[in-house]
Amino acid sequence: MQTVKYIATTTDCWTAHRQSFIGVTAHWIEPDTLERKSVALACKRLKGAHSYDVLASVLNDIHSEYNIREKIVRTTTDNASNFIKAFRVYACEDEESSTEDESKGVNDSEEEDAEEETEGVEVEALMEEEDECSEYQLPKHHRCACHVLNLISTVDARKAESNVMYKKISRAAFAKCSALWNKSARSSTAAEVIERECKLQLIRPVETRWNSLFLAVERILRIIRESGEGAVRAVTIALKVPMFSPAELAFLSDYASTMNPVSKALNILQGEVDVHMGWLVPTITLLTVKLDRLQTSSKFCQPLISALQEGIQQRFGKMMNDPELISAAILLPKFRTSWTSNENLLKLGMDYIKRHMEEEPALSSPGSHSGSEEEDFFGLMKGNVHETTKQLDAYLANSSTSMDILKNQTLIVHTRPKILCNTTGVMADAILALNLS
């Protein structure tokens, strides 16, 4: 990693066999080949409470050990409060500042009109606060998109039960599903009955992975499609559990159709090889479009779709307007500007790209450097801005979706690794690559 300029890291904590661990992985884009590279940096024991300052100290030590602290552009974690606080206190920027201002109801116009006053400050308290913030230096924080989607599909989806009709039909249907899943898991005889009648085994949901619930419901529907309702009825009679009513089966079918795009988005974002940060905004944007289309055709799950849309807006809203994330999508040949019709969003991303391209030293053509400070200062008058726009337009006009086209775009290639090197903002777990038993 000594020759790499920009690196992204992920980290996670977990407990196994009454012992706690922290794992850190690093990821970057190889400048020459534009391929994504990943390594495991650390797997360390954690003793004592997993408080925010302990986590910050361990991360700071790991980053310093590999001499990459200044190279890290983002660190991805789940939504655990201890990680959130660690980065809020010690990161290079306050990710919660805008949210806190909104919650306090700050009004800009009222602040401008207010009379300025001088307020006394305790110097000792101020110095202690500065010491705490400068004790550790953490990079910019990013919340794992897969973990956020998991929260939307569980916590936010439950808000749909405020609709009485939806609550009644969903609880009845899932209660009967749970009865089947429990019977099949607890008894080998029950499993044999299911395999004999249905030709397939049931999938039992895992509490920590939302999409396992979707897959379990989908398996029941597949059995009904391939073996008929009679097969499921024979199983329910043999296992002495209630059979689904026609309305409940229709609900399960509607539920599967509703959650299918969410499950696909989750599978896409947790890819470990070809998925870059540029996939995030297009994936979530198209997910909202798909859910909007389902709103008119859904018979039972309209409250669920509304709850999912509200959760996406609340949890991804800030990310969807982040110029860096938008520019990351534009700089991926697969997406460019085709993933949205919102011109304001595209302008945010394009302006961000142009600004960074103009700042790159690579913009100066070979042999044009005179060594004069005056020449360097007025360098932008020599057509560099035009060259920036020209290369960007040529890239956008190219129809190829291969990453190889970027190798011919000198200015874009110099800018791209920094914007896209956070290939891990969309991993399900920071520690997946370690495969610890």
Q: pLDDT for 65-80, tens place per residue?
A: 999 988 998 899 988 8
Judgement on whether residues 261 and 186 belong to the same structural domain of the protein: yes
pTM of the full structure: 0.78
Judgement on whether residues 283 and 252 belong to the same structural domain of the protein: yes
- CATH number for the domain including 35? 3.30.420
Report the percentage of the chain scoring pLDDT > 70: 75
pLDDT, one tens digit per residue, over 290-335 is 999 998 889 999 999 999 999 999 999 999 999 999 998 988 888 8
Identify whether 127 is part of a domain. Answer: no
Bridge partners, 142 (sequence order): 76
**Domains contained in the chain, number:** 3
Identify whether 124 is part of a domain. Answer: no
Helix (H, G, I), strand (E, B) or coil at 184: helix
Which of 320, 351, 374 is the C-terminal boundary of a domain? 320
Which of 259, 288, 320 is the C-terminal boundary of a domain? 320
Report the percentage of the chain scoring pLDDT > 90: 45
In 228-275, which residue ranges form alpha helices assigned H by DSSP? 229-239, 246-269
CB half-sphere exposure, 436, CA atoms < 13 A: 21
Identify whether 326 is part of a domain. Answer: no
Identify whether 114 is part of a domain. Answer: no
Question: Which of 38-52, 198-212, 346-360, 399-413 is least confident?
Answer: 399-413
Identify whether 116 is part of a domain. Answer: no
Q: Residue 373: what residue type?
A: E
pLDDT of residue 427 exceeding 50, the answer is no
Judgement on whether residues 15 and 86 belong to the same structural domain of the protein: yes
pLDDT of residue 258 exceeding 60, the answer is yes
Judgement on whether residues 167 and 231 belong to the same structural domain of the protein: yes
Identify whether 214 is part of a domain. Answer: yes
pLDDT band at 22, cuts 50/70/90?
A: very high
Judgement on whether residues 139 and 157 belong to the same structural domain of the protein: no
Helix, strand and coil in the chain, % to nearest 5: 60, 10, 30
Judgement on whether residues 198 and 313 belong to the same structural domain of the protein: yes
Mean pLDDT rounded to a whole number for the chain? 80
Judgement on whether residues 309 and 166 belong to the same structural domain of the protein: yes
Q: Residue 295: what residue type?
A: Q
Identify whether 343 is part of a domain. Answer: yes
pLDDT of residue 94 exceeding 80, the answer is no
Bridge partners, 12 (sequence order): 23
**Mean pLDDT of the 99-114 span:** 39
DSSP assignment string, 58-80 = HHHHHHHHTT-TTTEEEEEE-S-
Structure tokens at 371: 């060594």
The range of the structural domain enclosing residue 343 comes to: 335-400
Judgement on whether residues 58 and 167 belong to the same structural domain of the protein: no
pLDDT, one tens digit per residue, over 124-172 is 654 555 555 567 889 999 999 989 999 999 999 999 999 999 999 999 9
Judgement on whether residues 396 and 436 belong to the same structural domain of the protein: no
175-214: b (≥16 Cβ within 10 Å) or e: ebbeebbebbeeeeebeebbeebbeeebbbbeeeebbebb
Judgement on whether residues 274 and 377 belong to the same structural domain of the protein: no
pLDDT of residue 43 exceeding 80, the answer is yes
| pLDDT the model gives residue 275 | 80
Query: Which has more confidence, 427 or 252?
Result: 252
pLDDT band at 117, cuts 50/70/90?
A: very low
pLDDT of residue 103 exceeding 70, the answer is no
Identify whether 328 is part of a domain. Answer: no
Judgement on whether residues 165 and 309 belong to the same structural domain of the protein: yes
Judgement on whether residues 373 and 232 belong to the same structural domain of the protein: no
